[in-house]
Every structure is written in C-alpha cells, then in structure tokens.
Chains A and B, each alone.
Chain A
Amino acid sequence: MYDTKRSPLLPREDAREAALFFVVAALCFLAALTGLATRAAYGAAESWAGQIQGEVTVRLLEGSAEDANDLATLLEGLSGVRRALPEDREVTESLLEPWLGTNLPEDLPISRYLAVSTVPEAGDLTRQISEAAEGAGFQIEVESHQQWANDVERSLGILRMVGIVALVLLLTIVLSVIAFATHAALLARREVVIVLHTCGASDRFISRLFEHRFFGLGLRAGGLGALFALLGAMLLFFAAKQSGDRSWLLPQMSPDIGTFIVLVMTPLIAALVAMIAARITVTRALNELY
C-alpha cells in the first residue's frame, strides 16, 4: 500500500533559510533584551519616582529642637501625612558641611529640617503643610522635590521612547530581512511557483505556502532569540544580586509576569511579522511573474 503521507509543496529549507533563521534569532534576541532592559529601567525609574513623590522636606527657618518636635506633631495630624520626623542637628550640619565645614559653633542659627513622608494617594500636600504651619506661627519652606520628580518623569518618557524606537527599528529590520529572504526564496523556486500556477493554484494558495513556511521560521527563530534573552536577563539578575549595595546600578531584572509576557510575545510578533512580510512579498512578486 502506498504511503500517502504528503510532501510539502515547497522544497525543504536550504542553506539560505538556515542563515536567515540565525539572523532573525539574533534580531529577536536583541528585541527581547531591549524589551526587558527598557522594562527594567522603567521599573527602576518608577520606583525612584515613587520614593521621591512620597517624601516632602520641611525647613523650619527659625526655631529650637522643641519647635521642630511641635511642628512634627502638628504635621502628623494632617490628612495624608504618614510620618514627620525632625532631623538631628548633626544631620543638618553634615548637609551643610560642603559649604560651612565642620565644628560649627553651637550658637550658630541653622535651619532645622523635617522629613515628612506622605501616602502616595494624597498627591501634593505642599499647600496644606504650609497653611497648617503658618497658621500655628511657624516660618517654614516646603520642598516637595517636584523638580527632581519632573526630571525623573522626563527621563522615564525618554526611556519609554528609546525603548519603543529600538523595538520598532528591530521589528522593521526583521520585516525587511524576511521580505528580502521571501523574495529570494520565491525567485529561487520560480519554477515550482509556475508549475503550481499552471496546475491551477491560486495566488492565495501559493502565498499561504510561503506564509506558513516563514511563520514557522519566525516562531522558531524568535523562540531561540527569546531564550537567549532570558539567559542574558538571568545573568544580569544574578549580577545584581552579587553586587549587593551597588545593585541599583544594574537594571532591575526580576522574573515576573512582565518578563514572561516580553519573552512569549517576542517569537509571536516575529512569526506574525514574518508571515505578513511573506504575504506582501509573494503577492507583489506573483503580480510581477506574469
């Protein structure tokens, strides 16, 4: 009995497709790593912003340690303030050390600082703190770190933009490379395509053969690239662990759901891009064939 297991209508992969596989895998590795790095850097910057936005520094222009304690008690009574802590004189002196040096005279009037932490949902409490303090007769200045927060926000925007541009660029390269490879594959199999056409195959039928081929290639190459990106991310993760106190210098890699999504989406997007590139290229090329 004849074994009717059917051969694929397009000849199996050749050396060119093997080379294309590694090119796409390398691009997907870069894309996944870019995605992970952008996400990690974005996460770290958001965490800094969160910390800044939850803190307000209050400067008591004139007053004793007792006044600072009274002001702290007053501020802790405000809605949205979690804690108000007067800084020791030593801390204030150390802050002024670059300008005034050490061993400041005891009677030198220096401002007292209070570190006020707020609940994130409370928003900007600058006005409420000023009004409450001035109402109780304290002369104060409030620094909500808004400028720093704005800088961090701006950096976040730039990071997001760079990440997106890098990803779009890499996907465009994948698209172009696949389109080029599909065109070459189509020309290399011109005779096969002509025979299929003459036998009654529709453009869509032929296009699907190439789409199926390159979807599979994109999926496998994307999967390999994502796997290598995962290994790279794990390396960074362990490097951060090893660095101890200096770990904040490295992107905040963590194996969470976001990482999983980036790694799963990379091969899927690569496969879809490859499929779309193949469809467009084959449709255009078939029109040129006859």
Chain B
Amino acid sequence: MNYEPDISLDEPTIRVDGVNHGYISGENVLGDLNIELNSGSFTFLTGPSGSGKTTLLQLLYAAQKPRNGKVSLFGVDTSNATRKTLTRLRRRIGVVYQDFRLLNHLTAYENAALPLRVTGKHEREYRDDVIDLLNWVGLGDRITAKPTTLSGGEQQRVAIARALVNKPDLLIADEPTGNVDPEMGERLMRLILELNRRLSTTVLIATHDIALVDRLGAPVVRLENGLLVHQRGDVGAGGGHHV
C-alpha cells in the first residue's frame, strides 16, 4: 500500500531547503536556495533574464524535481512524493506560464475550464463560473475563439482564467501582466489580490515590472545567477504577508 502524505495548510505553502539544481550537462542554474512562503502570502520573484526564475517556478509547480535539497509544497516533499500525490498537489496550484501554454485545438472557454474538466467534474457544475470568470477578464465575447485567433493579451487572460478557475491554494505566475496593456494589467492584478485576500491564496509572481512591485509593496525574492541575492519584506519569516 502506498503511503499518501497529507497535504497540510498548517505547513508553509512553499519551503525550499538548500536546493541546488542544474542541467544534465552539470551547469548549475540554482544554488543553495532557502525560501519559505507561508499560506496566504503574496510575494514577487524578480531577477534578470536567465537568473533561474523559471527553473525555480518549475520546481515549485512540481514539473521538475530538485537535483539536491528539498522542495516542500503544503508540507509534502516533492522529491519523494508519489505520482498520485504530485497530481493532488498540482490540483491545488494554479500556474500562469510566460508562454501561456494554451491548447490550440480548444476554445478559450475549454482552455479556461481545463483544470475542472481533468478532475472529472461535470460541465454543468462549472459552466457558469467559467463564463463569469471569462467575462471578468474581458473575454465574454471571445469564449468560443481558439487561441490562434486571440491576441497575445487575450491569450494571457485566458491563461490567467485557467490558473484561477479552481480557486487554487497557490498561484504561481510567470510575468502574468507582460503582454497586456496597463489598464488590463491593473485589472488582472486586482483579481489576483482579491483571490489572495478573500481565499488566502498564496501568490508568487515572477516579474520584471519593478513599478508594479514597488506599487504593491509586497515581499520580494530576487535571484541573480541562480542565487538568492536579496529579500525584501516578510519572506521566510513565517506568518504570511497580505498586501
């Protein structure tokens, strides 16, 4: 019988302990990282291109396992987790990819509803919620459109709707406002903040937008060459941080 560890909300949502990670060639991408994000916290991840942000995010949404060290999500060590446990973890995480990763053969509505569909929920249970969410991100008239017919900004909004549709406990977003105009960027950030406040969703956003980081005043983790070079705010101190 497989031991299935409990996923706990009492544990820090994210705990990174001495993680070293690199390519198969041996080149190190992340070096000796220690980060802890508590439940309900809102954190920015910044750093120049190639600093290891995307690799760190991949470790955090369990798309990769660390070469050394430990990544724990909701108290579960992803290195030792069974595939079933990883699936359970992923169902509690919403991810916005920098390149959106929408499925081109599905409509905007079907893409947004994907996290609910793959868990076996019947469409009548979520149909109205998905349409409401798409309306909220300004895509009410584009729900039947395929991604190839959507602009970059519209695709990004579909990707955000997909990440938020199942009200995740952890939202990981890689440049979520990178392709939208400032007005839509503000609107999307308000949606994410609302999710953080109302549902205590832990949020980690990778961004280059320093103005956005400064405006929200949230804790910041800054990476350079795979190393943690700067922390601002309540990261790792426990207790969580609400913006």
Residues of A whose CB lies within 8 Å of any CB of B are: 2-4, 6-9, 11-12, 191-192, 194-203, 205, 286-287, 290
Q: Is the beta-carbon distance between A199 and B115 smaller than 8 angstroms?
A: yes
The A interface is mostly helix, strand or loop, or mixed, namely loop
CA distance A196 to B87 in the complex (A): 10
B8 interfacial by beta-carbon distance below 8 Å = no
Known: A2-B109, A290-B65. 12 other contacts (CB 8 A): A4-B127, A6-B110, A7-B110, A9-B117, A192-B103, A195-B114, A196-B118, A198-B61, A200-B91, A200-B166, A201-B118, A202-B118
Nearest chain B CB to A289 CB, angstrom units: 10
Q: Is the beta-carbon distance between B87 and A201 smaller than 8 angstroms?
A: yes
Cβ-closest chain A residue relative to B64: A290
Nearest chain B CB to A12 CB, angstrom units: 7
Answer whether A197 and B90 are a contact pair too, CB < 8 Å, given A2-B131, A290-B63, A290-B64: yes
CA distance A7 to B105 in the complex (A): 8
B196 interfacial by beta-carbon distance below 8 Å = no
Q: What are the 10 closest A-B residue pairs judged by CB atoms, nearest first?
A: A200-B91, A201-B118, A199-B115, A11-B105, A202-B87, A199-B114, A200-B90, A195-B101, A199-B118, A7-B106
Nearest chain B CB to A9 CB, angstrom units: 8
A-B CB contact pairs (8 Å), 16 listed:
A6-B110, A6-B123, A9-B117, A11-B103, A11-B104, A11-B105, A194-B63, A195-B103, A199-B90, A199-B115, A199-B162, A201-B87, A201-B118, A202-B84, A202-B87, A290-B65
Cβ-closest chain A residue relative to B89: A200
A194: which B residues are within 8 A, CB to CB? 63, 101
Q: Is the beta-carbon distance between A4 and B101 smaller than 8 angstroms?
A: no
B107 interfacial by beta-carbon distance below 8 Å = yes
